Structure 1
Amino acid sequence: MSESGRPDVTQELRLPWDDDPEELYEHAPCGYLTTLPDGTVVRVNQTFLDWTGYDRSDLVGHRRFRDLLTPGCQIYHETHYAPLLTMQSEVHEIALDVVCADGSRVPVLVNSVLERHDGGGPRVIRTMVFNATERRSYENELLHARNAAEAAEKRIRVLQRIVADLAAAPTEAEVAEAVIRAPEPAFDATSCSIYLVDQERDQLVAVASTDPTTGNWDDMPCSSPRAVAAVARRGDLHVVHNLAEAAEHFPDLAETMARSGRRTVVLLPLTTGPAEDQAGVTVLGVLAFSFAQERELTGGELGVIRLLGQQAGQALDRARLYDDARRREERAEFLAGITRALDEEHRLLQRARRLVERVVPDIADWAAVRLHVGPAGLREESGGPPPDHDLLAERIAKATHAARPVFATDGDRLDCTVLPLTARGRVLGTLALRMAADRRGAEAERAFLSDLADRAGLALENARLYEQERAIAQTLQRSLLAADVPAGDARFALETHYQAGGQDLEVGGDWFDAFPITRDKLAVVVGDVVGRGLEAASTMGQLRSAIRALATQESGPARLLEGLDRFCQRVESARMATVVYAEIDLDACTMVYACAGHLPPLLHQPAGSAEFLLQARSAPIGSRAGDVRRTEHRVRLSPGSRLLLYTDGLVERRDRPIDRGFEVLNRAFSRLRGAPLKGLAAGLADTMVGREHADDVCLLCLTLGAEERLERSLGADPLQIALLRSDLRAWMIGQGVDQDCLSAVLLGCSEAVANAIEHGYRNDPFGVVDVAATITADAVEVRVSDRGSWRGPSHSRGRGLKLIEESMDEVLFDRGDGTTVTMRRHRGEGRP
């Protein structure tokens, strides 16, 4: 007890025995070392010796503490441990590795204290050493786990990115490009290749590779013994770990690995379907990637690889559905487009040409249409060089006989598909085409081509029927027109032209007629019946007959129109027809005309410009409104005058006023004033409306009397010479020139014009040759002028000049601005 009466705690806590301090030092739970400032060990406890296996005599006085460390730790001792201890006099929890007596290593944690003299100099270093073997193992496990987690996270990020890329890839090619980018960042793969399954051709198609120079990177049959095909058939992941394993199972892969230096290869099938049901899995391709070193893949890596195969397979399946839908849409658009394009053409040949133009190059690089109907030997071809003719002819005959397509197949030497063009149970012809490389063989493409052939056959058959019906309609139309217009009278000449509307099969109501009323009076008429079809054609024929019946020497145009008004009371379909009717007195050179709602005649007299005759106008035939009084007007005509009667199809257009049409017609008719009459009406129709026009066009052109002076301007075209001869012959007959003189003048004039075209305009197709002819009581004089550039006198001294000199009595050349040849031929007995 203490003095205060309380118990003595010290006495109560004292152990019943006394610990030996030396024993505590030697067997402490950690190692103790005492070293001199230079590191020499001067004292060490038994715990440290037990850990390291050294004898005390091996260390004390013989070894420095740094000598017990591994080389790396020795460097750390020199660069970090010793300087810190010197500066701070203590260091804590320094991790080092101590080399044991048997060479093994013990990881330790070191705490050191530097004791100093009273003067501050280092005296001794006391070091406490803790065994960190368990801790180091735990830390290594944590580090390994962290590294594994980071690698897994990296793979997941790569996989997420790839999945995002796959979701955004709409086509099969884009999916393949996304998949092939996955193995390198996700698994540190060296190279990668992807193959896709073509089920219709039963092949694995090499699509993409990051290193196509390594190995057999090409297409292969699905039945091939090669590793890629085997994995595609099996449908499960396969890892070839080394060259020996590859040599045992897949010699082709072993050869590739040996040549490229690859050591581990992963063959991953790209699948779609439930992963738990192997029977329901469909392999769409194979992804092959390799490593430069042998690689043992972990379970986590294999799981990610399988997941990649499933995601890629689903993306491929989706892309193929998208591609199929897009191709179906493209095919539908193409078929709709080609149907519209063919409907725009109405003629058989034009439709065949349009068909070939649309097929090449959209779906084929060569195509040809051969038809057994229409014009003989009808054929249209486009594209590159045609295939072998004999083989093609054999295939065409086979398709025609069987009325079934003959498709090209893989390895086909001809490589050409022939489609029969059928309609209404018969083969009209064939469409032969060489398909583009990316459109061959697919069953869907064959169905598409069959659909194309059906549509094309129907379109061509419709065009054939159109042409047939159009020909019938035009034949009927022309049979109803006047085919017996007067001719052979030197006092006048007639030229007519009818052009049916290009877009209509029905008979039109436009018509013309010309007939003599008496020996000296000629009637000309052009009319237009309302409507189209057989009723209009019948009405047209009745009107023409009625006009011929009403036309008498005493009636005149006004009374004739009044008679037509009464005729409409019995023939209702003739009501509102338009007519321009004129009677020409051939001896008096006068014309009396009347217009019943029709467009005004156009008259061009030799001494003036062309003008429209706007008098004597009244309402259409049978009209009950407006001015129904019929009037007529008389016009004096000079010899050589030209009169044009026409229907509204010549001048009326939807996109311009009628006055503008009259202006265009006036200019065109005036420009042709000096042209031969033969072909004038057709040429005028070509200039005004072309060959394809919606409305019928009817023209009647009359030249009155013999011109006192014949003047013509010809283009530098040898075909114009025949027209000039016809015009010149008719003019000289009208002037009473005898046959010998007429023949000689025709020969000399023709040769002179031919020389001017050949030599004066040899390089100028737009040159003009002017011809002027006059007749006196004793001679015919012809002047032929050109403004071309002749090469020299020798070019005018040929056979042509000899014929001119032999046929004409006088020939004179004037070479100035061009060349003028003046020729004279005496008439009859006046010839010297």
Structure 2
Amino acid sequence: MKHSGIDYEAVFQALPGAVALLTTDLVYADTNEAYVQTSGRTRDQMIGRYLFDVFPDNPNDPAATGRRNLQGSLLRVAATGERDAMALQRYDVECPDRPGRWEERYWSPVNAPVLGPDGRVALLLHRVEEVTELIRARGGRDGGDRTRVLEAELYTRARELQEVNERLRRAHAREREVALSLQAAMLPAPGPLGRRRGAVRYRPAVGSLNVCGDWYDLAELPGGRFGVAVGDVVGHGLAAACIMGQLRSALSAAVRVADGPAAALDALGLYARSVDGAESTTALQTVIDCNSRTVVYSSAGHPPPALLHADGTVEFLDRATDPPLGARLEHVPRVQAEAAFSEGATLVLYTDGLIERRREDIDTGLHRLAECLGRHGRADADTLADTLLAELIPPGGNTDDTALVVIRL
């Protein structure tokens, strides 16, 4: 596309629809000519300025919701990377040549993400279609009064739908808060790991109910060994938090008595068959032996742990990966593998929120993780954990929650 010879700036300006480009801070980056004509503002009055400084709510209408609705939509797109078609909006506009006088205007907005080379949201595309004349029809040969009544009813129904959506949003927010509290109570604080240093982190999803399915666990084992596990339940909210608690506890108990990580996941898989909603859960169990300096591991469909060696190289432990829990009709014993490490190595376990991005191959996320570890691998466990979250999760947050465990070996 870069070498097609097409002048995309000219295409943007020629679009018949009114389109503006905003930064993720909601500052105008560019507008096309149709947007200038529709908005009644010049480009100089908009470019570089905050959206709601240019178009504030009508101060004479205490019930105005245009700014709140539009701001909520744009921030959701920035956080999730998902397109959002808004319901019909009333958003009054101050007359540019008559300050203090506000015109009643109606709009149909669509907001979409523009992704940068790193897969993150770089700009917001804000397209609006003015429907004021439709709502305030002046009549015509087919009966203007009836048209006005129908369109007024359409607007009323749209406002009612917005109110219903707002009530649902508040109810979902309450469920999210309860689920996060429940999950926090069930996830363990990092216990002693001998003289090894470890850090754990949990980062909930932003602007989404897709939270509370991720977990981590650390367990001291006999003979100078300890187990580290992570997992991810399919689902969200209270249901996912409850399933997560059951599976985490079951795996934590199994690894203490099983003969290795594969046997522990075998036991978890059998148990998961009796738990509604546990199917397709991914889990990873490792057993670290500080005496033999080995990591034994087994994975049920989970992203591979990263072993940062003392020389700065990164090895992904991906030689013992089987399907997620409940994916097979018949129970098949799981496989496990072993990796050696030397003093000064670091083991990183995580859930997919750390590396996966929509419309991006998972290898890109793994490469990003390896590159970050290579640059910051000498930091202590807590600093490294914070750095990984800061550099690998988009600035506006992620649409999936993330669990992370960093162990200095």
Band of TM-score, shorter chain: 0.5 to 0.7
Letter aligned with residue 697 of structure 1: T
For 1:9-48, list aligned pairs within 5 A. none
Does the C-alpha gap of structure 1 residues 464 and 682 become closer, same or farther in structure 2, counting only changes over 3 Å? farther
Match of 1:475 among 181, 186, 193: 181
Does the C-alpha gap of structure 1 residues 364 and 566 become closer, same or farther in structure 2, counting only changes over 3 Å? same
Number of aligned residue pairs: 280
Q: Do structure 1's residue 558 and structure 2's residue 221 form an aligned pair?
A: no
Residue 101 of structure 2 aligns to a residue in which SS? helix
Residue 573 of structure 1 aligns to a residue in which SS? coil
Write the distance in 1 (CA, Å) between the matches of 2:362 and 2:255: 31
Write the distance in 1 (CA, Å) between the matches of 2:269 and 2:176: 33
Q: Do structure 1's residue 437 and structure 2's residue 100 form an aligned pair?
A: yes
Match of 1:341 among 55, 70, 84: 70
For 1:117-128, list aligned pairs within 5 A. none
Match of 1:549 in 2: 253
Does the C-alpha gap of structure 1 residues 468 and 673 become closer, same or farther in structure 2, counting only changes over 3 Å? same
Letter aligned with residue 545 of structure 1: S
Deviation of 1:607 after TM superposition, in Å, equals 2.2
Residue 678 of structure 1 aligns to a residue in which SS? helix
For 1:491-502, list aligned pairs within 5 A. 492-502=196-206
Does the C-alpha gap of structure 1 residues 564 and 487 become closer, same or farther in structure 2, counting only changes over 3 Å? same
Deviation of 1:628 after TM superposition, in Å, equals 3.4
Cα deviation 1:99-154 (Å, max 9, x = unaligned): xxxxxxxxxxxxxxxxxxxxxxxxxxxxxxxxxxxxxxxxxxxxxxxxxxxxxxxx
Verify the 8 A CA contact 2:66 2:91 in the aligned structure 1: no
Write the distance in 1 (CA, Å) between the matches of 2:176 and 2:235: 17
Q: Do structure 1's residue 688 and structure 2's residue 392 form an aligned pair?
A: yes
Match of 1:134 in 2: none
For 1:251-330, list aligned pairs within 5 A. none
Deviation of 1:344 after TM superposition, in Å, equals 1.7
Does the C-alpha gap of structure 1 residues 463 and 630 become closer, same or farther in structure 2, counting only changes over 3 Å? closer
Q: Do structure 1's residue 518 and structure 2's residue 222 form an aligned pair?
A: yes
Match of 1:746 in 2: none
Match of 2:337 in 1: 633
Deviation of 1:436 after TM superposition, in Å, equals 3.4
Verify the 8 A CA contact 2:92 2:102 in the aligned structure 1: no
For 1:366-377, list aligned pairs within 5 A. none
Match of 2:236 among 523, 532, 539: 532
Does the C-alpha gap of structure 1 residues 546 and 469 become closer, same or farther in structure 2, counting only changes over 3 Å? closer
Cα deviation 1:741-799 (Å, max 9, x = unaligned): xxxxxxxxxxxxxxxxxxxxxxxxxxxxxxxxxxxxxxxxxxxxxxxxxxxxxxxxxxx
Cα deviation 1:776-830 (Å, max 9, x = unaligned): xxxxxxxxxxxxxxxxxxxxxxxxxxxxxxxxxxxxxxxxxxxxxxxxxxxxxxx
Verify the 8 A CA contact 1:594 1:616 in the aligned structure 2: yes
Write the distance in 2 (CA, Å) between the matches of 1:627 and 1:467: 39
Verify the 8 A CA contact 1:494 1:703 in the aligned structure 2: yes
Verify the 8 A CA contact 1:619 1:628 in the aligned structure 2: no
Match of 1:700 in 2: 405
Match of 1:569 among 265, 273, 295: 273
Deviation of 1:469 after TM superposition, in Å, equals 4.8
Deviation of 1:638 after TM superposition, in Å, equals 0.8
Structure 2 unaligned blocks of 5 or more: 1-59, 80-89, 104-155
Does the C-alpha gap of structure 1 residues 629 and 437 become closer, same or farther in structure 2, counting only changes over 3 Å? same
Deviation of 1:600 after TM superposition, in Å, equals 0.7
Deviation of 1:506 after TM superposition, in Å, equals 5.8
For 1:812-827, list aligned pairs within 5 A. none
Write the distance in 1 (CA, Å) between the matches of 2:350 and 2:385: 10
Write the distance in 2 (CA, Å) between the matches of 1:538 and 1:689: 26
Deviation of 1:619 after TM superposition, in Å, equals 1.5
Deviation of 1:470 after TM superposition, in Å, equals 3.9
Verify the 8 A CA contact 1:495 1:678 in the aligned structure 2: yes
Verify the 8 A CA contact 2:93 2:102 in the aligned structure 1: no
Verify the 8 A CA contact 1:651 1:665 in the aligned structure 2: yes
Match of 1:504 in 2: 208
Deviation of 1:339 after TM superposition, in Å, equals 5.4
Match of 2:142 in 1: none
Does the C-alpha gap of structure 1 residues 577 and 342 become closer, same or farther in structure 2, counting only changes over 3 Å? same
Match of 1:596 in 2: 300
For 1:361-400, list aligned pairs within 5 A. 362-363=93-94
Write the distance in 1 (CA, Å) between the matches of 2:344 and 2:197: 10
Write the distance in 1 (CA, Å) between the matches of 2:205 and 2:387: 17
Deviation of 1:526 after TM superposition, in Å, equals 0.3
Letter aligned with residue 683 of structure 1: T
Write the distance in 2 (CA, Å) between the matches of 1:608 and 1:346: 38
Q: Do structure 1's residue 614 and structure 2's residue 318 form an aligned pair?
A: yes
Write the distance in 1 (CA, Å) between the matches of 2:179 and 2:257: 36
Does the C-alpha gap of structure 1 residues 437 and 509 become closer, same or farther in structure 2, counting only changes over 3 Å? closer
Verify the 8 A CA contact 1:591 1:636 in the aligned structure 2: yes
For 1:655-674, list aligned pairs within 5 A. 655-674=359-378
Letter aligned with residue 702 of structure 1: I
Deviation of 1:609 after TM superposition, in Å, equals 0.6
| TM-score in terms of structure 1 length | 0.31
Verify the 8 A CA contact 1:618 1:628 in the aligned structure 2: no
Verify the 8 A CA contact 1:527 1:598 in the aligned structure 2: yes
Deviation of 1:501 after TM superposition, in Å, equals 1.0
Q: Do structure 1's residue 487 and structure 2's residue 195 form an aligned pair?
A: no
Cα deviation 1:287-311 (Å, max 9, x = unaligned): xxxxxxxxxxxxxxxxxxxxxxxxx
Deviation of 1:610 after TM superposition, in Å, equals 0.7
Write the distance in 1 (CA, Å) between the matches of 2:168 and 2:358: 28
Verify the 8 A CA contact 1:619 1:626 in the aligned structure 2: no
Deviation of 1:660 after TM superposition, in Å, equals 1.2
Deviation of 1:512 after TM superposition, in Å, equals 0.5
Write the distance in 1 (CA, Å) between the matches of 2:281 and 2:73: 32
Write the distance in 2 (CA, Å) between the matches of 1:608 and 1:671: 9
Deviation of 1:627 after TM superposition, in Å, equals 9.3
Match of 1:624 in 2: 328
Does the C-alpha gap of structure 1 residues 574 and 471 become closer, same or farther in structure 2, counting only changes over 3 Å? closer
Letter aligned with residue 438 of structure 1: R
Letter aligned with residue 184 of structure 2: R
Match of 2:358 in 1: 654
Verify the 8 A CA contact 1:346 1:466 in the aligned structure 2: no
Deviation of 1:342 after TM superposition, in Å, equals 3.5
Deviation of 1:465 after TM superposition, in Å, equals 6.7
Residue 574 of structure 1 aligns to a residue in which SS? coil
Residue 551 of structure 1 aligns to a residue in which SS? helix
Match of 1:265 in 2: none
Letter aligned with residue 600 of structure 1: P
Letter aligned with residue 341 of structure 1: L
Write the distance in 2 (CA, Å) between the matches of 1:466 and 1:561: 33
Residue 686 of structure 1 aligns to a residue in which SS? helix
Letter aligned with residue 692 of structure 1: G
Does the C-alpha gap of structure 1 residues 618 and 466 become closer, same or farther in structure 2, counting only changes over 3 Å? closer
Write the distance in 2 (CA, Å) between the matches of 1:501 and 1:528: 13
| TM-score in terms of structure 2 length | 0.60
Residue 397 of structure 2 aligns to a residue in which SS? coil
Verify the 8 A CA contact 1:564 1:622 in the aligned structure 2: no
Write the distance in 1 (CA, Å) between the matches of 2:171 and 2:360: 34
Greater relative contact order structure (CA < 8 Å, 6+ sep): 2
Verify the 8 A CA contact 2:306 2:349 in the aligned structure 1: yes
Write the distance in 2 (CA, Å) between the matches of 1:626 and 1:598: 20
Cα deviation 1:9-37 (Å, max 9, x = unaligned): xxxxxxxxxxxxxxxxxxxxxxxxxxxxx
Deviation of 1:533 after TM superposition, in Å, equals 2.6
Larger Rg: 1
Match of 1:583 in 2: 287
Cα deviation 1:62-86 (Å, max 9, x = unaligned): xxxxxxxxxxxxxxxxxxxxxxxxx
Write the distance in 1 (CA, Å) between the matches of 2:188 and 2:359: 32
Cα deviation 1:676-735 (Å, max 9, x = unaligned): 32132232122112342111111111111xxxxxxxxxxxxxxxxxxxxxxxxxxxxxxx
Verify the 8 A CA contact 2:210 2:237 in the aligned structure 1: yes
Q: Percent identity?
A: 32
Write the distance in 2 (CA, Å) between the matches of 1:472 and 1:564: 26
